[in-house]
Each structure stands twice: as structure tokens, then as C-alpha cells.
Chain A
């Protein structure tokens, strides 16, 4: 019998439990509001599971340690907020170029700089996409409930393992600190994905030979196994040896983007609410989904047929799903706690098809249903 536990918990606790359920056994981090509970819960839970918890000297070292641990074959994660996420950008690039799976939790707070340290924001959307230098793709998921904190963290680990990539959970102070009931499901083995391991002879193993694989993802061995290999954050060839040949650079740098495009169908996830008869749509993610759901109900009570598209994956951007909605409705409203970071993406996709408007707050106060409703009424006039 599987044991599902119903508990009343904060988002940061559910994230920790999701990571552990997905098989994570290594956490390295540095305390920062409003993410510190992930570290605290991890420091209590991991030793009991025989896993490793370590507090590092900064966020640069934290992400370095989880990348190292993952190369040793252990699923690893860290948690931080804006200022720490900024420090992680350097080694986020190592995980991208070295193709080392790991999960980074960013419980977003108001920025820039130290900002309003205890207040929510959704201002790191573009930093998650483009924060580390150079061309690359990335996966980012954004939960809006405590249940989603658990579920999306499991998904984050699965995507990370499947595509040999860092995956970012972009949550925020509201969702991270909010308490709700959720089901801590005991996952069946089929729900947990592990990285593809090599099956060739050790002499034949090349850790970056992605072209030989149908899914475009090379198997990843672990340090200490019979396979001897090199992880390389510098330009490298299939073997991991340094290589500065232009054709090789072209092939690999494209690969860091194309592996996500190629597998888009398996990665991108959205959820629709009452879209069937909708004449207007809200596109939202993270904490803003909560206000959006209420606004949708209020609008329908007022006779405006509104639907909601929740972006579960923020990156890669759900362009096809957004396009479909933009083609269908009279106007789209995008509420977010920044000055339009996803709004810009929606405009890029849908500006030729529909009217698109943002509801934006950057004053550390969450967006209320009435603010979204007012914008819906304005565009419906």
C-alpha cells in the first residue's frame, strides 16, 4: 500500500518533501529570506534518510557543491532568493555547459539588490531565462499552491535528470510561506525518472556524445563507477576534452538550446481553466494564479466570459499554447508581480491576434482579484 500523507504545511516545506520524494539526497545552500525553510527542513530530513546536508560559505559554493554531488551520482538541490540567485548565475552556466542535472529553488523576493527582503515579487523571470552568460536553454517551473510546490519539485527533478540540465523552481515569498493542506504522495517508482546511464564499455564512453542518442541526450555516468570521464564547463568535444574548433563550438552551443526545442512537447506544461467558452483570457503563473482564479469567477458572475491559462513551465515559454489562446479571445490580461517580464513574451507571440494588457505590481503587495477584474472590464469595454 502506498502511503499518502495529508499535511498542513508551508510551500517551502512541500518543496523540500517533493525533492526528497523525487530521490534528492544532497542539499547545499546558504541561508536567505524567504527560502531558508527549505534549508532548515533539509537539514532535519536529509540525515534521517542517509542523505547529505551542508551549509556552504555562499551561493557560489552552494551551487558548485550540488553540481559536484550530482556528478558523483546523487540527485542534488539548493534553495535561494534573488541576491543568492544572482551569485549562482556563474555556476549555473557550468551545469548548463557541463550538462549536470540539479534543481535550484528560487523563492523570489522584491528586488533589485537587497530590495525588500521579506516581501514577494516575480521579478526574476528573465534572470532565470538569461541570467547566466551565453546562449542556452533552461527549464523553469512556477508553483501557485502548496500542492504544486510538492508536485512541481518532483517534476523539476524528473526533467533535470531526463535532459541533463539545471531546472529552476521559480516560486515566491507568498507561495513559499503560505500554509495550505497538501497531499504528500508516496510516489510509485514509475513517477521518478533517473538519468540515463551508459551501457557501453568504459573505453567507448563519451559523456557528451549527444548525437549518438535518439533523444539527443548523452548518458551520464557517476564518478566512482567503472566509467572514467571528465565534466567540463569549458568548450569541449564529445569526450569532454577542451575543443575550440568553430564547428564544434557551433554544434554544442546550439545543442544547449536545441535539446529543449526538440523535446518541447515533453517539457512544456500549461493548465487551462474554463477556456472552452472564454472570450477573454488571463495568462498567469505562480502566486498571481491565485488572484487570477478569483478574478475569473468574479468576471463570469458579471457576465464576462473569462478563462485562465496557467503557465506551469515558464521556460521554455509555452508559445504555441499562448498563440492558440491569443487567436481565440478578444483580449488577454497578464497579471504578474513585475513590470511585464512574461507580458513581453505574450506580446511577442500574440500581438497580431489580440489585445494584450498587463496588471503589474512591484510594490511588494500581491495582485488582488479586483485589480485583475478591473483590467478585464477595461479591455472588455
Chain B
């Protein structure tokens, strides 16, 4: 083996060992690296009990209720399998909308209601002009009527 082949082998082995170590560490930490819990995970009691955590999912269509004081809102976060009712008081981000993604931080109270102290909007990776979005929505509706 020439010296430069030895050095190459050394670096290759080092990088592979490092990648292996990183994989093990990341797998071990997987549960702690989640930014939010889904309603299904909360239902399965995977979320921390009695501690602040984040839930994420979709704002259920037609679930948004605004309080009389103008700042308090109620809505339901769903991942289509499970639902969690959320209460929040404060300004909502501009992209907060029914049927769109949301991440809320807060605590789950005894009644199973999530009292949020912060609400963030999560948007998807699709970018399109408003006309295209409108056309997509129309197509979805048309498809829905055909199925029914």
C-alpha cells in the first residue's frame, strides 16, 4: 500500500465510522428531535404530560371560532385520524387558515383541551399563482361531486 492509499483508506474509514456514529446518535435522539407532536401521538400519550409542548396538524375546516373580545380564538387541530381542540388568545399569523398547517405551543389541560400560548402557521412547499390555486380547488370540488 502506498502512503497516499493508506491515507485515503484512513480518511474513508474515519468518515464511515463517523457517519455510523451520527446515525446511531440521531436514531437515539429521534424522539427528542421532533418539533411538534401530531394529534395521534398525543392520543397515544407519546407527548409529555403536564409539560409545555407543541402540537402540529391541520386547522379543521369550519372549526375556527372567534371570541367576543376579538383576541381569543378556538379551533381544532387534526391529522385526519385524531383531533385536539385548541384555545388561544393573541394575534394569529397571516397564513393561519382553516385547512392549512399549524403548529401551536402550550399545555394540554385535564379536559383534553390544548391551551396554546403561541400559534405558528406551517405552510407547504407548493408555490403557485392564485389562478392555479383556484383552478386546483375547482378541480377538487368537481372531483368531489363526481364521487358523491
The answer to whether A and B assemble together is: no
**Residues of B at under 8 Å CB distance from A?**
none
